[in-house]
Structures are given as structure tokens and as C-alpha cells.
Amino acid sequence: MKVALYGQKIGKKNIPYLNQFIGYISNNSIDISIEKSFFNILSSFEEFKNLNVPVFSHYKELTKDFSLMFTFGGDGTILSALTFIRDTGIPIVGVNTGNLGFLATFNKDVFIKKIDQIFDQKFHLIPRSLLWLETSITDHHPFFNFALNEIVIFRKETVSMITIDAYIDKQFLTSYWADGLIISTPTGSTGYSLSCGGPIITPENKNFVITPISPHNLFSRPLIISDCQKVHLKIHSRVKYYSLSMDTRLTSLKKDNELYIRKAPFYIYIIQEEKYTYYKTLREKLLWGMDQRN
């Protein structure tokens, strides 16, 4: 079996968990390859001075013969890992060393106790849909054009609102006067969209949600649409550029660059333990039911 390991940073307090993991991999004759930047970070710690394993630094090196990718960090780490995973179908095991962790569902304190179950395939494999972006200026693709959480359009270098004309399947929806607009997947519905008043959508739903950011139109509310529909956006601004983010990646586009957003032609697969339930995660992460009267 062949697995990949990815992380963005690691604190000294989390080194023992990684040390146990790599020890398990070595003792069970499992091949491992570590993302190059993360390998360099690990090599700075005494425990990994003599670590000698292959590294990868480009998505083409993460071939489909990898059985799993393990990420150590939070949900942001998984979002960054997607630039390597892309459409390979390699399942992700997210070990949560952060705080919230809707995607990184394996707690670092009990992860090693459950690792046998993972390699014995005693888990749920959850497909997550993604957003796919195309632009009217097709030669402007500064980063990968897909997002697991959300695509966000917002004003740049101005305190003035921007106007976003939105079309659904070529039919005019409305013009949003706002600081920006979020197009979110069910996975991303517990992120930026939620903080802007958007609904929580469970992962199995085949929907996207359009959520305005600080809209001037008081009647502008989040809208849930089918993920079979295509969204077309035209941006109007007093300045030349607007900002565009896709998960953790940020860039600027000229205001005459229109956006076309649809469901991506592939899924990302997240591994979750058999006893995991999405509703339990909501209760724990959002502190539902913490009222003492309960």
C-alpha cells in the first residue's frame, strides 16, 4: 500500500502524534511519500532528522496508485491538499490538530487507536461535490479552477459596494449591491456563508447556496439552487479590479472578466469513521445544546 502525507505547519506539541503515525507506517511496511514543504518542516525537528522517504511537490507526482492521503492540521489543510488531489479520487484522512474541524474528523488524541480500522477499510467514504469556475477571459487561470468550500467575489481597493448581476441557467436572477457574493457547496455551508447568514446544508444534498455579503438591498437573502444549474456573474465596480477567492486561494480579476460557475466533473472523497454522524459534529462544533437548561 502507498500513502501520502500533507501538512502546512506543525507545532512541537503535535510532533508525538506524527511520530507515532510514521512509526506505524514503517512497522507495517507501508510506502509513504511526504509533500516537500511539509517534509522540510518535519526535518527541522530532532525526531525527524534522519527521516528518509520520497517527497512530492507537484500534483502530477500524486498518481492514482496512492491509496490514501493523510493530512495533519485543520480544514484549511485539507482545502490546500486538494491542489494535489484534484481528480485522482484519492481519499483523504483528515487528522484534526486544529480547533474546529468539520472535514478533519479524526481527533489527534485517538487517531492512532483507530488507524488499524482505517487501513482495514472500516470507514465511511463520503463524496463531496465541488464548484468549477470558468472565466470569460480564458487565458487568465492563475490557480486551479475548482473549490470544495466556496467561490467568493468581493470588492477590492475601494470602500464602495460592487454590483453583481447574477444569472441562473441564462435567466436573470437579480443585481446584488453588496460587498461581495459567496457561492457555496454543502461542504462550505458551515464556513463563510454561514457567518453571512446562509443556511447549513448537509453534505448529501445536491445544492449550492448563493449568499450576499453585507447587501445594501435589505430584501437580498441567501438562495439555495440545484447543483445541476449554472451560475453566470457580471461584476460592476468603481475600480478596475475585484477580488476572487477559491477556498484558500486568492487573486484579482478585471471587472470585465465574467464568471461561469457550475458543479465540478469530479468529487473529493473524505474518510470518516463508522460511528461518525454529521449531526453530532454540528452539535459539537457549533455548541448546539450547550444551554444549561438542556
The answer on whether 134 is annotated among ligand-binding residues is: no
CB 8 within 8 A of CB 39: no
The answer on whether 194 is annotated among ligand-binding residues is: yes
The answer on whether 149 is annotated among ligand-binding residues is: yes
The answer on whether 193 is annotated among ligand-binding residues is: yes
The answer on whether 291 is annotated among ligand-binding residues is: no
The rounded radius of gyration (Å) of the Cα atoms in the chain is 21
Q: Of the listed 75, 116, 139, 169, which one is catalytic?
A: 75
DSSP per residue over 140-181, as a string?
---S-SEESSEEEEE--S-SS-EEEEEEETTEEEEEEEESEE
The answer on whether 276 is annotated among ligand-binding residues is: no
Half-sphere exposure of 221 (CA within 13 A, CB side): 3
The answer on whether 179 is annotated among ligand-binding residues is: yes
The CA distances from residue 120 to 123, 175, 273, in Å, are: 8, 52, 12
The answer on whether 100 is annotated among ligand-binding residues is: no
Instruction: Dig out the grid coordinates for 248 from the structure.
Output: 484558500
The answer on whether 190 is annotated among ligand-binding residues is: yes
Active site residue 256: no
Amino acid identity for residue 3 in this structure: V
Report how far residue 22's alpha carbon sits from residue 4's, in angstroms, rounded to the nearest whole number. Answer: 11
Which residue numbers are catalytic? 75
Provide the annotated binding site for NAD(+).
75-76, 149-150, 179, 190-195
Binding-site sequence positions = 75-76, 149-150, 179, 190-195
